[in-house]
């Protein structure tokens, strides 16, 4: 059937009474943008392959929606994954997925741009394509099928999804998406000469675009990856290494957020105050792939808050950043918000603050007179030793001191985030989580008695591509269960709440994160066996994944848990986030020595970013003046030069260092000051 918007609306009126949360599928929300379909030169469906309530909270998609719809010749509309009950109804009626704005079927758009922030969404991509009648495999698509483009953090290693995607995008898409649209429109207006291959050839020339079908992987006799290189016939357009794209200056923030009719996961506006992070936590993919740090000017943030409050009526706003305490105008921002909006009901959340008194004072100012939510600590490991391994050196004493301040100022709950499974972790490190949780609860009781609460949330390390832990083994399931049982036993007491994640769901994230092209067969087979909505525990089908691996003759643990030799080619070696592999190796080796590196705003460790993006940096300095809002230290003539070493061992702390060596840097890491004091005669 030819599914026109009218026919889709008609079918929808019959289907909606039969599904949960019908408001997910009706559109028409405040600030959603409806344009004339026939007048648009380019029509893009922006898809988030999970349910509406999650997709509406995705800032990346909101940014693209805003940028694209600012162009008069572009129409961008939203699509989310229909929940399982809706999918059953759609299959019964042969109803395709449709956009919320104009209710056009997915297959009628020029481009389907899919946001993939995590790997558990892969099977939902196949569901969307299949429901839309678009062939699953790029090679089987006709010239008039939409271009299937994917971006987001999971596309740092897109190899397991390679046959399903026409093109992937690495990095920040705010500028590139316009280039991609224009390239597609020109090809189409020229009569689609050369077919889809010609379109992909043109796209491959755009920086940040990766065309998986233009590359081939080779494997050695053991089945391990030997190389991934451009195929000879595409070597003229496909670079040997595809570099991520960044924006020199962050574009203006979204202010006119779409206001949903139903509760969403984050029912609030969000303004990104800073992109990137200089702290260098070794498990953290975001901290590596979003380098360099770029700050948004505080005046721009404050003006955006004013506009957002007027345009949406939201009563809550979140200032997004990987490390809010490092935003250089944090005090001015908090003062400015309190001054302008303090009397109104606007509540502000400032996530990812460092564990210190300054953060408590900031939060107190922001929450003055309002109901206090929990205060969050994210030490990620509970022993000083293990926090050195992961390069998050917060002294336990400092955490306990901060807990005193939190409870004494009226908060009743402290939430603490940890991970188990870090390299070199032992049962003693797991026990340290229990002990620290109990110590914090004890402090709470000293201040507010039985009202004190502690939430301990413990996830499992999934070694991620493009992090120093990308070679590390993942802990085996039996040990993870043993460690989780230990925590359950030790933290069973009033006032304590423990949450743990399911080891098998984590294993799935692990094999997809570091998988190679052979996993495409596994993904497709698992999907045909019923795997979908893999991030939802009640939908997760472990059996389907096990069977898919068995049928493909592949070993799940070989992908999920194996320690990779440093010299083994990695599936994402031909894709770069600008951070050199040598830097990652040095960081991994230093982690095994428990060596700590401090904030690279003060001291560049030559990760490769400045060199790679020197033109963008210059552009930012020209546009914004000064350092352009970039976090990397200023080098060059006239600027004070920081010592840089390609192998930055002298800049790291290690127990073998003499007190004299440590003394140069110790003041930056409080726990090292203590160690130095202990070791000095
Ligand atoms: S180039 Fe230097 S300062 Fe910039 S992110 Fe890399 S290590 Fe940090």
Over residues 84-93, the pLDDT tens digits come to 999 999 999 9
Segment 564-573 shows an average pLDDT of: 96
Tell me the whole-structure pTM to 2 decimals: 0.92
Pocket test for ligand 1, best of 294, 323, 602, 610 (most atoms within 8 A of CB): 610
Tally Cβ neighbours within 10 Å of residue 306.
13
CA-based R_g, the chain, Å: 25
Q: Which atom of ligand 1 is nearest to the CA of 605?
A: 7
All CATH 3.30.750.200 domain ranges in the chain, comma separated: 371-503
Hey, what are 414's tokens? 């402290």
Q: Is the CATH number of domain 267-369 3.30.750.210? A: yes
Segment 499-514 shows an average pLDDT of: 97
Tally Cβ neighbours within 10 Å of residue 509.
21
pLDDT band at 640 (very low <50, low <70, confident <90, very high): very low
**What is the spatial distance between Cα 445 and Cα 370, in angstroms, rounded to a whole number?**
23
Segment 416-441 shows an average pLDDT of: 97
pLDDT for res 349: 83
- pLDDT at position 54 over 90: yes
pLDDT for res 662: 46
266-275, 522-531, 542-551: range with lowest mean pLDDT: 266-275
Rounded to the nearest whole angstrom, what is the distance from the C-alpha of residue 603 to the centroid of ligand 1? 8
Chain-wide mean pLDDT for the chain? 91
All CATH 3.40.50.280 domain ranges in the chain, comma separated: 5-243
Segment 355-379 shows an average pLDDT of: 81
pLDDT for res 341: 85
Contacts of 302 (CB under 8 A, 6+ apart): 333, 336, 337, 340
Class at the top of the CATH hierarchy for domain 371-503: alpha beta
- pLDDT at position 602 over 80: no
The residue contributing the CA closest to ligand 1 atom 6 is 607
pLDDT band at 557 (very low <50, low <70, confident <90, very high): very high
All CATH 3.30.750.210 domain ranges in the chain, comma separated: 267-369
Q: Do the Cβ atoms of 135 and 67 come closer than 8 Å? A: no
Over residues 10-34, the pLDDT tens digits come to 999 999 999 999 999 999 999 999 9
pLDDT for res 260: 93
pLDDT for res 598: 78
Segment 372-396 shows an average pLDDT of: 90
Segment 298-325 shows an average pLDDT of: 92
Distance of CA 586 to the CA centre of its chain: 24
Segment 515-529 shows an average pLDDT of: 98
pLDDT for res 589: 92
Percent of the chain topping pLDDT 70: 92
The residue contributing the CA closest to ligand 1 atom 5 is 292
**What is the spatial distance between Cα 403 and Cα 444, in angstroms, rounded to a whole number?**
7
Segment 460-467 shows an average pLDDT of: 98
**What is the spatial distance between Cα 134 and Cα 149, in angstroms, rounded to a whole number?**
13
Q: What length does the chain have?
A: 681
Hey, what are 62's tokens? 């909101």
Helix ranges (H only) for 107-209 are 122-132, 176-189, 195-204
- pLDDT at position 672 over 90: no
- 5-243: CATH architecture: 3-Layer(aba) Sandwich (3.40)
CA within 13 Å, CB half, 238: 23
Residue with tokens 């201040």, as numbered in its chain: 447
Rounded to the nearest whole angstrom, what is the distance from the C-alpha of residue 551 to the centroid of ligand 1? 45
**What is the spatial distance between Cα 329 and Cα 274, in angstroms, rounded to a whole number?**
11
pLDDT for res 342: 75
Q: Which atom of ligand 1 is nearest to the CA of 291?
A: 5
């Amino acid at each position: 059937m030819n599914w026109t918007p009218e026919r889709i609306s008609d079918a929808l009126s019959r289907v909606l009474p039969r599904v949960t949360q019908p408001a997910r599928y009706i559109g028409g929300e405040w600030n959603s943008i409806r344009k004339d379909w026939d007048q648009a030169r380019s029509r893009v469906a922006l898809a988030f392959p999970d349910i509406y309530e999650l997709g509406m909270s995705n800032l990346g998609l909101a940014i693209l929606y805003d940028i694209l719809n600012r162009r008069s010749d572009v129409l961008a509309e939203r699509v989310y994954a229909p929940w399982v009950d809706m999918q059953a109804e759609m299959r019964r009626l042969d109803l395709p997925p449709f956009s919320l704005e104009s209710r056009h079927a997915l297959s009628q758009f020029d481009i389907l741009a899919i946001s993939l922030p995590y790997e558990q969404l892969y099977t939902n991509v196949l569901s969307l394509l299949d429901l839309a009648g678009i062939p699953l495999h790029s090679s089987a698509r006709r010239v008039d099928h939409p271009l299937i483009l994917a971006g987001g953090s999971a596309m740092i290693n897109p190899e397991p999804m390679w046959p399903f995607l026409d093109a992937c995008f690495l990095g920040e898409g705010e500028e590139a998406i316009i280039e991609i649209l224009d390239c597609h429109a020109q090809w189409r207006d020229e009569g689609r000469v050369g077919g889809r291959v010609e379109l992909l050839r043109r796209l491959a020339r755009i920086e940040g675009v990766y065309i998986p079908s233009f590359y081939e992987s080779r494997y050695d006799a053991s089945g391990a990856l030997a190389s991934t290189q451009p195929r000879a016939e595409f070597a003229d357009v496909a670079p040997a290494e595809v570099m991520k794209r960044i924006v020199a200056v962050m574009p203006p923030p979204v202010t006119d957020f779409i206001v949903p009719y139903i509760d969403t996961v984050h029912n609030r506006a969000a303004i990104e105050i800073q992109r990137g992070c200089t702290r260098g936590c070794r498990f953290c993919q975001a901290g590596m792939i979003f380098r360099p740090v770029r700050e948004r000017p505080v005046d721009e943030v404050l003006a955006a808050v004013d506009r957002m409050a007027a345009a949406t009526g939201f009563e809550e706003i979140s200032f997004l950043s990987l490390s809010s305490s490092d935003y250089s105008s944090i005090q001015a921002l908090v003062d400015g918000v309190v001054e302008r909006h303090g009397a109104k009901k606007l509540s502000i959340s400032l996530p990812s603050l460092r564990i210190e008194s300054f953060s408590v004072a900031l939060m107190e100012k922001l929450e003055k007179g309002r109901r206090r939510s929990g205060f969050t600590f994210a030490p990620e490991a509970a022993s000083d030793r293990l926090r050195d391994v992961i390069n998050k050196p917060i002294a336990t004493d400092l955490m306990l001191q901060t807990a005193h301040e939190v409870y004494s100022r009226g908060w009743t709950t402290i939430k603490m985030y940890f991970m188990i499974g870090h390299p070199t972790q032992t049962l003693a490190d797991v026990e340290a989580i229990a002990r620290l949780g109990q110590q914090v609860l004890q402090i709470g009781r000293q201040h507010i008695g039985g009202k004190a609460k502690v939430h301990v949330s413990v996830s499992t390390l999934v070694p991620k591509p493009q992090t120093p832990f990308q070679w590390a083994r993942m802990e085996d399931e039996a040990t993870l269960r043993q460690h989780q049982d230990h925590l359950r036993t030790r933290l069973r007491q009033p006032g304590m709440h423990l949450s743990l994640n399911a080891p098998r769901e984590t294993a799935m994230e692990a094999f997809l994160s570091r998988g190679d092209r052979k996993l495409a067969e596994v993904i497709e087979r698992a999907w045909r066996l019923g795997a979908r909505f893999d991030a939802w525990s009640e939908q997760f089908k472990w059996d389907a994944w096990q069977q898919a691996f068995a049928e493909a003759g592949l070993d799940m643990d070989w992908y999920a848990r194996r320690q990779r030799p440093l010299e083994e080619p990695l599936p994402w070696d031909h894709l770069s986030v600008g951070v050199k592999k040598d830097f990652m190796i040095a960081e991994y080796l230093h982690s095994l020595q428990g060596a700590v590196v401090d904030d690279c705003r003060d001291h560049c460790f030559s990760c490769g970013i400045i060199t790679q993006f020197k033109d963008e940096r210059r552009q930012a300095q020209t546009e914004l003046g000064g350092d352009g809002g970039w976090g990397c230290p200023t080098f060059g003539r006239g600027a004070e030069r920081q010592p840089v070493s390609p192998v930055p061992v002298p800049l790291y702390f290690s127990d073998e260092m003499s007190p004299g060596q440590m003394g140069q840097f110790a003041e930056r890491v409080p726990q090292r000051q203590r160690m130095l004091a202990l070791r000095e005669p």
